[in-house]
Amino acid sequence: MAAYEHLRYCDELEAEVDRLAAAVNEAELDLFVPTCPEWTVRVLVDHCGGTLLWGGELVSRRSQARLSGRSLQLSPPDGRSGDPAWLRECGARLLSALRAADPDETMWAWGEDQHVRFWSRRMLHEMLVHRVDLLTVSGSSIDVAPEIAADCLDEFFVNLRRAAEFSPRVLEIAGGGETIAVQCSDVPDSWTVAMLPRGFSIVSGAPPTPDVRVTGTARDLMLLFNRRAALSALPVEIAGDLGVLEGWLDKSALE
């Protein structure tokens, strides 16, 4: 990733934190979040702030190993639980560390890319998905630029294998070579998911004759594969073996 791409992700992350904080201003903190059933809005906000602070500590230290949250102060100060201003402050700390860093410097990351640059991209999409969670509480429209939604989906695919550390059902994904073509209808992005005897593979581009093809806007596909909306609730087109797609969605859900 070139430095300008890293800085572009930082700019997008800053805008996404602002959108998330603005949505918090309109939310009732004690309502439960449908896509995170055990969380209230307040818990979601505090989780996002703590995640931003954790990322900031990792990047500022160029940590070569995972930092335990128990060793850090990631909770909001007294009286600031659910505070959107605190959320913005947490974002600013991470962004300061990211913008001061060389994106090509090596450091620990839970995903595939073991460099600083992993975190600018990951945190953008972490905050985006949690903004979606927040908007589901009120049923508000979910606005995402198609290019960002497609990148969110690509980032999900790139890191899914490594996510087995905290989502062990990913290790159950297997098959006999069945393929899923994922095709965006509003941007020229597509992927092929292949179910293999020992796991799976994901590559860019869609094959002409997959076992099942799912086509939709980048936003709708992002919601589907991140399990933020049910297949039946989205206007996506399915052609082929629905069972193959449903099996993938069941086992690839992140916990």
Task: Judge whether 203 and 192 are in contact, CB under 8 Å.
Answer: yes
pLDDT computed for residue 1 by the predictor: 54
Q: Give yes or no for residue 171 having a pLDDT over 90.
A: yes
Task: Give tens-digit pLDDT for 179-238.
Answer: 999 999 999 999 999 999 999 999 999 999 999 999 999 999 999 999 999 999 999 999
Digit-coded pLDDT (tens) for 53-76: 999 999 999 999 999 998 899 999
Range list of β-strands (E), the chain: 32-33, 36-40, 179-184, 190-196, 199-204, 212-216, 237-240
The contacts of residue 88 (CB under 8 Å, 6+ apart) are 17, 18, 21
Q: What is the pLDDT of residue 103?
A: 97
Task: Give bridge partners of residue 32 from the DSSP assignment.
Answer: 40
Mean pLDDT of the 147-153 span? 98
pTM of the model: 0.96
C-alpha neighbours within 13 Å on the C-beta side of residue 47: 16
